[in-house]
A = this chain, B = another copy of it.
Amino acid sequence: MSETQRSFKMQDLRGKLSANNYKMTPQRKEILQVFIDSEQGNHLSAEEVHELLRKKDFDFGLATVYRNVELLTELGILMKVNFDDGCVRYELSSGDGKTHRHHHLICLNCKKVIEFKEDMLDEVEDRIAAKADFEIVNHEVKFFGYCSDCRNKVTT
């Protein structure tokens, strides 16, 4: 992620906070920064964010992290994802108008989560919306299977 992207995200936070009568705090700034810095290692749980902050010597309360990832989600800056691994995870929302498309390939063997970007689901979505008389505003797709690494070795 480029420098301009980073400062854009942070400006976005400032704007959305003040627009909703919330205040900018070091906690909020640094929590967002953790997501911006984790180009890899997305899909962070509250606990993981808390731990990453501690590694940077920001010792915020865990409850504060919980409260703020939720707030950032309400503001549309983060999105919730659930990989059924026992905790709620969050990732940066892309903010490009295709914000709501997030697709994941989950390896049943090593539990690796691979992202894919292609969006071929628009037509499917249109047909389903018409058929079920349902206005779709968001979707989440998870494909479960085996990644190339795991197919090339004995399954544990």
Contacts and interface: CB of A to CB of B under 8 A. Distances in A.
A137 B131 contact: no
A134 B128 contact: no
Interface of A: 80, 82, 84, 88, 103, 105, 107-108, 114, 116, 118, 120-121, 123-125, 127-129, 131-148, 151
How many subunits of this chain does the assembly comprise? 2
Nearest to A139: B143
B141 A145 contact: no
Contact of A128 (B84, B105, B128): B105
A79 B103 CA distance: 21
Contacts of A82: 82, 84
26 contacts: A82-B82, A82-B84, A105-B132, A105-B134, A105-B136, A108-B137, A114-B132, A114-B134, A116-B128, A116-B132, A120-B123, A121-B121, A121-B124, A128-B143, A134-B143, A134-B145, A134-B147, A134-B148, A135-B151, A136-B143, A136-B144, A138-B143, A138-B144, A138-B145, A139-B143, A141-B142
Contacts of A136: 105, 143-145
B138 A140 contact: no
Contact of A120 (B84, B127, B134, B151): B127
Given A125-B143, A134-B143, A135-B146, 17 more contacts: A80-B84, A84-B88, A105-B134, A108-B138, A114-B134, A120-B123, A120-B124, A129-B145, A134-B145, A134-B146, A137-B144, A137-B145, A139-B141, A139-B143, A140-B142, A140-B144, A141-B141
